[in-house]
Amino acid sequence: MSKLFSRIAGFFSNRTFVGVDRAGNRYFTRKEEIDGILKEKRWVEFKGEQDPTSISVEWICWLNGQRKIAPTPEEMMELEARRERVRLNVALLKKEEEERKAREGSKKVVNSGKVGGPDLKSFIRQFPSASEGHKVERESDERLKETREEKEKPFAESSEPTGSGASYKPGTWQPPS
């Protein structure tokens, strides 16, 4: 029981405050010896409701040990400014794309960020009409006959390798000269 009490007391007295994030979550660390090995434990104390989504990526990396040094407030401000610039650039590019589509005469201007549907008129144009259908059928029948005739012709001997079956011998093939 005393071991448990000392461990709980050590949990609160041995901790080192590392930093605080924008949401007010506080981050701590403690060095602890387990089986003769000194290990560092890292954790977060949430401000208010325990919402793991309120933790930024940099702090998550620190908690998981992917970063040796905790993020500094200056670094967090720089990263937040960079993220805001990226958001603004994305919004600007979307606006330019919509304007370009409107100038090209596209009737569909997508405001919701979703991709517009296919142009059905151009899709239908690729299929022959009823009057052209017989012509297309005759052409395809002629092509089928030609391919059948080509398959029935015997192949002439070639110096090129034709397969890797039982007749394959490594190092015996030479390119034609």
49 vs 143, higher pLDDT: 49
For residue 42, give the H/E element and its range. strand 37-45
The reported pTM is 0.47
Residue 5 to residues 30, 45, 120: CA-CA distances in angstroms? 17, 21, 74
DSSP alpha helix (H) spans, the chain: 2-13, 57-63, 73-103, 120-125, 130-152
| pLDDT for residue 154 | 62
Q: Beta partners for 20? A: 26
Range name among 33-37, 65-69, 144-148, 159-163 with the lowest pLDDT average: 159-163
Give yes or no for residue 7 having a pLDDT over 80: no
- For residues 88 and 85, what is the distance between their CA atoms, to the nearest angstrom? 5
Q: What is the pLDDT of residue 124?
A: 74
Q: What is the pLDDT of residues 41-98, one digit of tens each?
A: 999 999 888 888 888 899 999 999 999 999 999 999 999 999 999 999 999 999 999 9
The reported pLDDT for the residue numbered 108 is 52
Distance CA 112, CA 90 (A): 14
Tell me what pLDDT residue 33 has. Answer: 83
Largest interatomic CA distance in the chain: 96
Q: Among 68, 62, 50, 55, which Cα is nearest to 21's?
A: 55
pLDDT in tens, 91-142: 999 999 999 988 887 555 455 556 666 677 777 777 766 555 555 566 667 7
